[in-house]
Structure 1
C-alpha cells in the first residue's frame, strides 16, 4: 500500500523512495503469502485439468462398459444400386434376401393444352380433390381373394384357340390388376382377360377353332387354379373362371363392406340379440376380428336355442338357419348386425346382405355416405331416338351390377363410370337427336339415388354425367393411421369452442385413440354443446353446435396439427353451427382465373396435390396443367373433378406401391411386400431398407455385429487412460538436468490417483463368468513408458473367438444382498436387504472409479480442489491482513518524515532569525 509522498523540501531527503524501500523490506511476508496463493491457484488449475481428463476417461469407460456398444450392427448390401440398409442395435444378425420388383410411383395427371398460361380465363367452377378411396372401383389384393386364402404366385401357360402358347410370370403380381395386365400384355397369344362379377373371364380373339382356349400350371404352383381359370373353354371362345371373390371364416372383418368393416362395440356389452321362436340370446363381438369369430360367437353361445350361422351358398353373405321365426335386433346402439347384413326377421332361414362387392367394384349400400339406394326399383331410360326401356335395378348390389344391367338391357345407351370415377355416366349410342336423353325412376328411387335422374325434359346431349355418389370410405371403425394417405393423425390436443363461448380441450395424446370412434367419443365427452358424428357423405367427422349462441363454432390447435389432420381446424364459415371435416377438398375458380391463377390456388389449397404448368413445345395450345400427388404410392392416388371448368385430365402416372420379394431367391416362395415409399421400415425389426432400383436377381443384406465399434471404444479407452497419465506426469515430475520440480511433485492425491488407475487395469476382474478375466488376455497391457497399449489384432481375435467373453469382461453385472461388495481401488457397493445391481465388468468398475475420483460432492479430486480453495481463501485473507498492516506502517513512516521536515523547517526559521540578530549586532558595533 502506498501514499502520496515527495522529496523533503527542507532536508532534501527522497522520503518517497526511502519509505518504499522500508515497506519493501516489511512486505516480504506478504510476498511469500502471495506467491503461495499463486502456487495453490496453479495447483488447482492443474487438478482441474486432471479432473477433465478423468472425466474424458469416464466417458470412454462408459462406452466400453455399455452393452449397446457391443450390439451395434454393420450392414452390407450385395448390390447397393438396388438397395441399401441401416440397422439399429436391436437388429438380429443374419442374411436376408430381397428382390426389388418395382419402385414406388407417385400419382400424376396431365391436362389438355391451353393457349397461354396467364391471359385467357378458363371459366368459373369448382375443382374437387379427394382420395382415390372415394372411387367406385377397387383393385383387390390377391391375398384377399378366395375367402382370405389368397392366390399362390407362380407362372401359368395360356394356349389360345390357334394353338399358340405363352407362359405368363405372375410371381410378382400383388393385385388382381397385375394379373389382368400381365395376360393382356403377353405377346405370342391373342387372348383378353377381364373381370366379370366374382370371377375372371378369358376371351380368345384369334377367330380360330383349332383347339380349345386353355390355361395350365407351369411348375408346382397352383396359380391358375387359385385364379379360377385352370382348364379349357370347352369348344367356345370364352373361358369363364370359377368364383374367386368370396368370404370365408378367415376373412378379416376390416375388409368387409368396401373396407368399412363391422361397427361392433369395443366393450363387453352385447351387439345384437338373436331370437328363435321367442327364445333369445345376446351376442358380443368385442374381440372379433374375423368372420369366423362372428360365426363362433353365435354358434357356440351357451344360450343358443338352435340357430346356426354360416357363410351362405352365394359365398358373399352370412346366413342364419333354424326351425321357426328368426329375428336379429341391434342392442346398445351397435351397428354390427346391420353391417353384417343380418338385421331383421325371417322364417327358417335369414339370408344376409352381400358383404363384399363384385371384383373391382363397390357396394351400392355404401353410396351417398352409407345410405345407399333408399328404395331399389326400376328406371326408365329414353334414348335420343325416343325409345324408352324399363330396367330393373332392384337386385343390383354393386356398381358393376348397375352398369352391366343397363348395358345388357338393349336400351341404346352405355353406362360407365365418369372420368373422375366417383359417379355414373350414361352415353347414347343411337346417333339420333330426335329426343332428349331422359332418365327417370319408374318405381323406387334408384335413378335419383344413383345420381343419374335427369330433369323430366331430359338433356339435349349425347352423354349425361351423373352426380358424385359420395362413396362412404370413412366410418367409426376407420383407423386414424390410414387417414391422410396413410400418414395418419398427429397425437396431440385441440380446443373446441361452441357458439355460447364454452371451450374445452380434446386430448388425443393419451395413446388409446386408434379409430374415428375414439375421436368421436373423446369430443362428445367434453363439456361443450358440440356433437361429433360421421358426416352425411361418409368422408369425415361432422361437428354440430347445439348451444344456440351468437358466436361461431371454432376449433383451434393446442400445439399440434391434430385438428388439421382430422380436417376440423377452423371455424363455422357458413354460420350454420357446423364444421365439416370432409376429406374432399374443393377450390373455387373464378370466371377471370387463368391457368396460373389455378396453379396458385391448388398449391395454396392443401388439397393433397401440387400443380405446375408444362410447356410441351407444340406451339399451339402448348400449356398443360400438371397435377402431382403430395404422397407416393397407391395411397397417394386421388380423384380430380374439374367441376365444369374445362380442365380435362388424363392419368400420366398411376400411383403404385413399391413391390419387393423377401425371404427366398425363388419368387414363388418369397413373401411379397408392398410399401407406399421406397423405404421398408418394419420388414425386419430394427432394420431400415432403402430401395434404389428394380432388379431381376435377388440382393442379399448381411447384418453382422460391428466389432469395429467395440475396437474403437477400446482404443478410445486406452487413449483416454494415457491422456490422464500424461496429465499426471506433467505435474508430478522432476527434471534433474534443470533441477525443476513439477507443480504437483509428491502430491498424495496424484499418487493415489495414479495408483488406483494402474491397479485397476492390472487387477483381475473378479465375478465375470467368461474366459477373459484380465485386460492382457484381450491385448490391453502396460507397455513402454508406463503407458497402456492395445494390440488390436489380439483384441479383434478375442472378439471373433469369444464375443460373449469380451462382453462379459467389460460389461458384466451381478446382484448382491446384505453384505458390502469391495471392488478394486476403493470401489465399494453397500449391501442391502434388497437385491442390488453390482458392476463387476471392467468398463463399469473403471467408470465407478472415475466417478469416485471426480464426484462433485466427495470425489478425491473434488476434496483436493476444495482443500486448495480453503488454503487459497486463507492465503488471500492473510494477504489482506498484511496489506492493511503495511498500509498502517507506510502511513506512520510518512507521518514521521513529515514531522521531521516540519521540525527542520522550524529550526531553519530559528536559524534565520538568529542570523538576522547577529547581523544587526555586527552593524551596531
Structure 2
C-alpha cells in the first residue's frame, strides 16, 4: 500500500507571501491615501492664500485717498497730445497750434548732383555733406555704379551709412523717380526739425554750398529746391511760444505737449479717472478669483455620489461670509451713507436663484465714472475711509472704515505670514503630514520585518516539506518492496 501526505507540496509560497503582505499593507495604504488627501486640501489653502496676496497687491493703488487723487493731463483734440508725470498741478489750458516744426528738405536733380560728384573726383576738391567728407573710394564707387539711377542710389547709400557717425552727414537721403521718362531726384532731409543753420542740411564742394535756394544748373534750369525747416509755434492761454521740435517738455512743469497738426485743443489736468478705473478692474478680478476658489471648494459636487473634502470647512465658510458681509456693508461718508452698488459694483447682479449665485462682483464702468464725477469725495471715502477707534473718554464707539480699509484688515487676519489663519492652517497640515510620514516610515520597517519573517517561515516549511516528501518516497519504496514478497 502507498503513503500520501496531501497538500504538503506544490504550494506557490511566493504568492502566499505576497497575498499576506497585501493584507498587512492595508493600514499603510490607508495612511498614504490620507496623506494624499491632506496634501490636496493643503494645496487648496495655499492657492487661496496666494489669491489673498494677489488681492492685496491689487489694492495697493486704491488703499489711500492719495491714490485716487493723482492727476493726469488730457487733450480734447488730435492737434495736441499730452502726457503728464506725478506732481503735475491741476489746471486747464487753451492751446492753438499755429505751425508745426519741420525738417529742412532739399530736392536735387540727378544730373546736377552727379556732375558735382564727377567734378570732385576729377579736380580733387573736397565734397562734404554735414561733417562727412566723401573719400576717393566713395566718389569712384558712385561713378562705377552704372546708370544715373544706380549712381544716385549709391550716393544716397553712402550718405545714410554715415549719418550716425560723429563726423557723419547731417541728413538722410532717398531717391525719388519724378517722371515716367526716368527723371530722378536726390531728396535730403535734415536729421532734426526747426529753423536755423543747426537744423539745416549742409552740402558743399570746395567749401561752397551746392544746394542753395533755387540753384540752377549750367542750362539755367532750377536744379535744387531747398525748403527751410520751421520751428513749431504754439499759443498757450494767449502766450506765443516756439520750439525747434514738435515736443514741448519744458513749457509747463509735469506736462509734455506733442503737436500733431494745426488747430485748437483744450488741455485739462484733473483726476486720472482711467487709471482709477483700471485699478478698480484689477481689484474686481482679484476679488472674483478669490471668491471663486472659496465657493468652488465649499460647493457640493453635481454628482451626488461624490463629496467635496472641504465642502463644510469652517474656515472657508468664515471667509465667504466675511467677504460677502463686507462688500454689502454701508459706509458713513461726508456725503452721506454709501455702498458699493451705488458706484456700479454689484454681487450676483440679476441672479435670483440661490444655486446660481457665485459671489462675484459685476463692475459697471460707466455707472462708476458717473458716481466719481458727481461726488468724488463720497466715492473715495467709500473705499478708503480710515477706521475710527473707540474713545472711552467720550463714549464714542469704534466705527468701521471704507471697503478697502476693512478688506485690508480682513486680509491681514487671514493672510499674515506671522499668524494669519491661512498660514496657521497650512502649517497645521505640514505637522499632520509629517506625523503620517513618521508613522508610515515606522510601518514600512515593520512590514519589511514581517515580510522577511514570512519568507523565512515559508522557506522553513518548504525545507520540512521537502524532507517529509523524501521520507514519504523512502517509506513508499520500503512498503512496495515488502508487498512484492
The TM tier, using the shorter chain, reads 0.7 to 0.9
Question: Aligned partners of 1:592, 1:737: CA distance in 2, in Å?
Answer: 83
Question: Aligned partners of 1:629, 1:718: CA distance in 2, in Å?
Answer: 51
Q: Please, which of 583, 586, 593 is the counterpart of residue 139 of structure 2?
A: 593
Other-structure match for 2:227: 653
Q: Please, which of 19, 22, 25 is the counterpart of residue 20 of structure 2?
A: 22
1:801 aligns with 2:374: yes
1:746 aligns with 2:312: yes
Alignment of 1:455-470 (within 5 A): none
Q: Please, which of 206, 212, 231 is the counterpart of residue 644 of structure 1?
A: 206
Question: Aligned partners of 2:437, 2:108: CA distance in 1, in Å?
Answer: 86
3-state DSSP class of the match of 2:470?
A: helix
Other-structure match for 2:283: 717
Alignment of 1:507-656 (within 5 A): 585=131, 587=133, 589-590=135-136, 593-594=139-140, 595=142, 596=154, 599=159, 602-603=162-163, 605-606=165-166, 607=168, 609-612=170-173, 614=175, 626-634=187-195, 636-638=198-200, 640=202, 642=204, 644=206, 648-651=210-213, 652-656=226-230
The structural deviation recorded for 1:31 is 1.8
The structural deviation recorded for 1:36 is 0.9
Other-structure match for 1:811: 384
- Contact conserved, 1:83 with 1:691, CA < 8 A, in 2? yes
TM-score scaled to structure 2, two decimals? Answer: 0.74
Relative to structure 1, the CA distance from residue 678 to residue 730 in structure 2 (aligned partners, 3 Å threshold; closer, same or farther) is: same
Per-residue deviation, residues 313-365 of structure 1 (Å, max 9, x unmatched) = xxxxxxxxxxxxxxxxxxxxxxxxxxxxxxxxxxxxxxxxxxxxxxxxxxxxx
Question: Aligned partners of 2:227, 2:288: CA distance in 1, in Å?
Answer: 62
Per-residue deviation, residues 141-184 of structure 1 (Å, max 9, x unmatched) = xxxxxxxxxxxxxxxxxxxxxxxxxxxxxxxxxxxxxxxxxxxx
- Contact conserved, 1:123 with 1:589, CA < 8 A, in 2? no
Relative to structure 1, the CA distance from residue 658 to residue 755 in structure 2 (aligned partners, 3 Å threshold; closer, same or farther) is: same
Per-residue deviation, residues 167-219 of structure 1 (Å, max 9, x unmatched) = xxxxxxxxxxxxxxxxxxxxxxxxxxxxxxxxxxxxxxxxxxxxxxxxxxxxx
Relative to structure 1, the CA distance from residue 117 to residue 588 in structure 2 (aligned partners, 3 Å threshold; closer, same or farther) is: closer
The structural deviation recorded for 1:803 is 0.3
For structure 2, the 5+ residue unaligned runs are 1-6, 143-153, 214-225
Question: Aligned partners of 1:763, 1:686: CA distance in 2, in Å?
Answer: 39
Other-structure match for 2:223: none
3-state DSSP class of the match of 1:893?
A: helix
For structure 1, the 5+ residue unaligned runs are 1-8, 131-584, 664-669, 826-839
The structural deviation recorded for 1:701 is 3.6
- Contact conserved, 2:75 with 2:265, CA < 8 A, in 1? no
Question: Aligned partners of 2:310, 2:284: CA distance in 1, in Å?
Answer: 24
- Contact conserved, 1:125 with 1:642, CA < 8 A, in 2? no
- Contact conserved, 1:733 with 1:741, CA < 8 A, in 2? no
Give the total of aligned pairs. 434
Question: Aligned partners of 2:172, 2:12: CA distance in 1, in Å?
Answer: 95
Per-residue deviation, residues 363-401 of structure 1 (Å, max 9, x unmatched) = xxxxxxxxxxxxxxxxxxxxxxxxxxxxxxxxxxxxxxx
Worse overlay, 18-27 or 645-654 = 645-654
The structural deviation recorded for 1:103 is 1.0
Q: Please, which of 98, 102, 114 is the counterpart of residue 101 of structure 1?
A: 98
The structural deviation recorded for 1:921 is 3.8
Other-structure match for 2:452: 891
3-state DSSP class of the match of 1:634?
A: coil
Question: Aligned partners of 1:789, 1:782: CA distance in 2, in Å?
Answer: 5
Other-structure match for 1:757: 323
1:787 aligns with 2:349: no
- Contact conserved, 2:324 with 2:359, CA < 8 A, in 1? no
The structural deviation recorded for 1:684 is 4.0
1:732 aligns with 2:298: yes
The structural deviation recorded for 1:29 is 1.4
- Contact conserved, 2:51 with 2:286, CA < 8 A, in 1? yes
Relative to structure 1, the CA distance from residue 709 to residue 602 in structure 2 (aligned partners, 3 Å threshold; closer, same or farther) is: closer
The structural deviation recorded for 1:35 is 1.3
Alignment of 1:305-320 (within 5 A): none
The structural deviation recorded for 1:908 is 0.9
- Contact conserved, 2:281 with 2:363, CA < 8 A, in 1? no
Other-structure match for 2:67: 68
Per-residue deviation, residues 879-901 of structure 1 (Å, max 9, x unmatched) = 22222211221221122112111
3-state DSSP class of the match of 1:746?
A: coil
3-state DSSP class of the match of 1:104?
A: coil
Question: Aligned partners of 2:47, 2:177: CA distance in 1, in Å?
Answer: 70
Per-residue deviation, residues 706-735 of structure 1 (Å, max 9, x unmatched) = 545545544553454343222212222446
- Contact conserved, 1:129 with 1:638, CA < 8 A, in 2? no
- Contact conserved, 1:611 with 1:625, CA < 8 A, in 2? no
1:124 aligns with 2:109: no
Other-structure match for 2:262: 694
1:678 aligns with 2:238: no
Per-residue deviation, residues 677-716 of structure 1 (Å, max 9, x unmatched) = 2223343444433322224xx3334555454554554455
The structural deviation recorded for 1:42 is 0.8
Relative to structure 1, the CA distance from residue 908 to residue 920 in structure 2 (aligned partners, 3 Å threshold; closer, same or farther) is: same
Relative to structure 1, the CA distance from residue 645 to residue 613 in structure 2 (aligned partners, 3 Å threshold; closer, same or farther) is: farther
Alignment of 1:435-454 (within 5 A): none
- Contact conserved, 1:122 with 1:593, CA < 8 A, in 2? no
Relative to structure 1, the CA distance from residue 637 to residue 773 in structure 2 (aligned partners, 3 Å threshold; closer, same or farther) is: same
RMSD after superposition: 4.1
- Contact conserved, 2:189 with 2:201, CA < 8 A, in 1? no
Relative to structure 1, the CA distance from residue 47 to residue 618 in structure 2 (aligned partners, 3 Å threshold; closer, same or farther) is: closer
Q: Please, which of 47, 50, 69 is the counterpart of residue 49 of structure 1?
A: 47
Relative to structure 1, the CA distance from residue 625 to residue 650 in structure 2 (aligned partners, 3 Å threshold; closer, same or farther) is: farther
The structural deviation recorded for 1:632 is 1.5
Relative to structure 1, the CA distance from residue 643 to residue 899 in structure 2 (aligned partners, 3 Å threshold; closer, same or farther) is: same
3-state DSSP class of the match of 2:451?
A: helix
Question: Aligned partners of 2:37, 2:12: CA distance in 1, in Å?
Answer: 36
3-state DSSP class of the match of 1:882?
A: helix
Other-structure match for 1:850: 411
1:878 aligns with 2:439: yes
Question: Aligned partners of 2:175, 2:373: CA distance in 1, in Å?
Answer: 59
Relative to structure 1, the CA distance from residue 722 to residue 647 in structure 2 (aligned partners, 3 Å threshold; closer, same or farther) is: closer
3-state DSSP class of the match of 1:107?
A: strand
TM-score scaled to structure 1, two decimals? Answer: 0.41
Per-residue deviation, residues 604-635 of structure 1 (Å, max 9, x unmatched) = 64336134364666999977655432221136
- Contact conserved, 1:116 with 1:623, CA < 8 A, in 2? no
Q: Please, which of 336, 353, 356 is the counterpart of residue 771 of structure 1?
A: 336
Question: Aligned partners of 1:634, 1:756: CA distance in 2, in Å?
Answer: 67
The structural deviation recorded for 1:16 is 2.9
Question: Aligned partners of 1:111, 1:770: CA distance in 2, in Å?
Answer: 70
Alignment of 1:477-496 (within 5 A): none
3-state DSSP class of the match of 1:68?
A: helix
- Contact conserved, 1:116 with 1:621, CA < 8 A, in 2? no
Higher relative helix content: 2
3-state DSSP class of the match of 1:689?
A: strand
